[in-house]
Amino acid sequence: MQARELTVPGAFEFTPRTFPDSRGVFVSPFQGEAFTKAVGHPLTVAQSNHSTSRRGSVRGLHFADVPPGQAKYVYCPQGALLDFVVDIRVGSPTFGQWDCVRLDPVDFRGVYVPEGVGHGFVALEDDTVISYLCSTGYNPGAEHGIDPMDQELALPWGQGVDGFEPLLSEKDASAPSLAEAAASGLLPRYTDCLAWYDKLRSA
């Protein structure tokens, strides 16, 4: 499995080997040893999530309070999507920067989203499935969102989707902009995130 750190420090793309034959294909989208070698600590899995989305559906940008936050390892076993990570850690040298990776069942790439980093995706096809491994369980009081259509971020959600019309939940559509979330003290602090990462590496 190959690992590549993304533009947002601490976020990684993982590309596994695939083993096709006349019956189909075998692949291991998540591999603990390769993950730990790249990230510096194992992934604790407290919950797995699964969603199916129509073409043009945008989910995110989501994040959780740190500590403990919620790290995610995501991959796409059906359809295709663009997966976005955004550095929303106040004080980070890359604050406001983002990166994206196409996820699909051709290469079976996975993306690791560390605690404190914003995450979202757009489905490029109908019946697109995304699977998450999450480091913590669902905690609605600690989970938040950023407006995915924030003009300051200018994320290219429509890239690769002809006639793109974004489909958003009411919650995501009414989320604050990055600047509004920062001004209200909603965003994770970079120093808190670094302290949490250090704790994970020393556990």
pLDDT confidence tier of residue 162, bands split at 50, 70 and 90: confident
pLDDT at residue 188 tops 90: yes
Within 8 A by CB and 6+ apart from 23, the residues are none
Does 163 score more than 90 pLDDT? no
Which residues belong to the active site? 62, 132
Q: What's 110's domain CATH number? A: 2.60.120.10
Q: Could you tell me the residue range of the domain that residue 193 belongs to?
A: 2-202
β-sheet with 72-78: strand ranges across = 2-5, 12-15, 110-113, 72-78, 128-134, 47-53
Residue 114 banded pLDDT, cuts 50, 70, 90: very high
Per DSSP, the three-state class of 202 is: helix
What pLDDT shows up at residue 125?
Answer: 94
Cα–Cα distance for residue pair 167/78, rounded to 1 Å: 19
Per-residue pLDDT of 10-27, as tens digits, reads: 999 999 999 999 999 999
Residue 75: band (very low, low, confident or very high) from pLDDT cuts 50, 70, 90? very high
Residue 8 in this model has a pLDDT that exceeds 80: yes
pLDDT of residue 164: 84
- CB-CB neighbours of 40 under 10 Å: 13
Decide if 110 contacts 30 (C-beta within 8 A): yes
For position 20, what pLDDT does the model report? 92
In the prediction, which pLDDT does 159 show? 82
Q: Tell me what pLDDT residue 185 has.
A: 97
Residues 6 or more apart in contact with residue 21 via CB below 8 angstroms: none
Percent of the chain with pLDDT over 70: 100
Distance between CA atoms of residues 43 and 53, nearest Å: 26
Checking if the pLDDT of 85 tops 90, the result is yes
Mean pLDDT for 91-105 is 97
The more confident residue out of 203 and 124 is 124
Q: Give the pLDDT score at 1.
A: 96
Domain count, the chain: 1
